[in-house]
């Protein structure tokens, strides 16, 4: 069976290039490394910050579990507390917070740079 030229999918030129993907993934890797460095620094310098964050996350998990009717509320609370409540949920929240903060700095920087250019 012969393939017709018109039947093949066309190559799209509107897809982001390699430079874009490298920049995006570099930002992602940077924020994860920065988050882990902050957690390690807090562990040595201010462990009470990690204890407070742990308590805050635990109270948040309890609040979510209490707001969902049984039997799913206690199940969800158990899963988040036992699997995600230790350190992973805290690190994930820190990574998201860092990405939001650094993205806002980047957006502001680009806006200010664009508004100053002629």
The domain in which residue 109 lies consists of 23-116
- 33 assigned to some structural domain: yes
| Token pair for 112 | 């200010």
pLDDT value of residue 80: 82
Tokens of 10: 């066309």
Does a structural domain hold residue 1? Answer: no
DSSP state, residue 83: I
Judge whether 108 lies within some domain: yes
In a domain, 10, yes or no: no
Mean of per-residue pLDDT scores for the chain? 86
Residue 83 located in a structural domain: yes
Nearest to 26 by CA among 88, 107, 114, 99: 99
Collapsing DSSP to helix, strand or coil, 21 comes out as helix
Residue 18 in any domain: the answer is no
pLDDT over 70 percentage in the chain: 86
pLDDT tens, residue by residue, 73-118: 899 888 888 876 667 888 888 999 999 999 999 999 999 988 887 6
Q: Does residue 5 have a pLDDT over 60? A: no
Q: Specify if 39 maps to a domain.
A: yes
pTM above 0.85, yes or no: no
Domain count, the chain: 1
CB atoms within 10 A of CB 59: 10
DSSP string of 31-76, one letter each residue = HHHHHHHHHHHHHHH-HHHHHHHHHHHHHHHHHHHHHSPTTHHHHH
12 in a structural domain: no
Q: What DSSP character marks residue 88?
A: H
Confidence check: pLDDT of 13 > 90: no
């Amino acid at each position: 069976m012969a393939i017709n030229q018109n039947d093949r999918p066309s190559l799209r030129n509107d897809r982001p290039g390699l430079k874009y993907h490298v920049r995006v993934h570099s930002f992602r890797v940077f924020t994860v490394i920065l988050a882990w460095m902050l957690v390690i620094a807090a562990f040595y310098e201010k462990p009470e910050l990690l204890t407070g964050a742990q308590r805050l996350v635990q109270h948040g998990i309890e609040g979510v579990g209490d707001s969902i009717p049984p039997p799913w509320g206690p199940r969800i609370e158990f899963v988040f507390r036992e699997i995600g409540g230790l350190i992973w949920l805290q690190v994930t929240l820190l990574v998201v917070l860092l990405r939001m903060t650094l993205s806002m700095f980047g957006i502001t920087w680009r806006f200010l740079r664009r508004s100053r250019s002629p």
